[in-house]
Amino acid sequence: MDLVYKIFLILHLLSWAMILGGVVVSLKEPRLAKGTMHAALTAFVTGIVLVGLAEMGDGKVNHMKIGIKTLVTIAVVVMTILGEKKPERVTKGYLLGLLALIVVNVSLAIGWGEKHGA
């Protein structure tokens, strides 16, 4: 089960890296890079799987953190879907908002947790 969790964690992290890369690349010419929406959907699904696997195991899950991260992820998914369907909607401000949500989500993942090894 630990191997399955690690595989999904790697997929989850790669998905967020792809979203971040897609948004940063798009800042030069305001439009969403190809694959950004699919990366956002993959990050959402793998995040749900990770929570499910953590719930099944011995790990404690911080439901407040997961709830907030889920809301931020849903906002990212919706923004990427809307940006894909209506490219004229995507402006530099739109992309900066998306970038801010990505930074918030990654910051929550890293900064809000138990201190290990302390």
Residue entry with tokens 């030069």: 28
Domain membership flag for residue 116:
no
What is the pTM (predicted TM-score) of this model?
Answer: 0.89
Domain membership flag for residue 52:
yes
Residue of 59 and 37 predicted with greater confidence: 37
- Mean pLDDT confidence for 111-117: 63
Degrees to nearest 5, angle at CA 76 with 71 and 78: 95
Q: What percent of the chain has pLDDT over 90?
A: 86
Domain membership flag for residue 76:
yes
Q: Look at residue 116 and tell me whether its pLDDT is greater than 80.
A: no
Domain membership flag for residue 115:
no
Domain residue limits at 102: 2-110
Q: What is the pLDDT of residue 114?
A: 60
Domain membership flag for residue 41:
yes
Domain membership flag for residue 29:
yes
> For residue 46, which of 72, 2, 9, 101 has the smallest C-alpha distance?
9
Q: What is the pLDDT of residue 94?
A: 96
Given pLDDT bands bounded at 50, 70 and 90, which one contains residue 40?
Answer: very high
Task: Count structural domains, the chain.
Answer: 1
Domain membership flag for residue 45:
yes
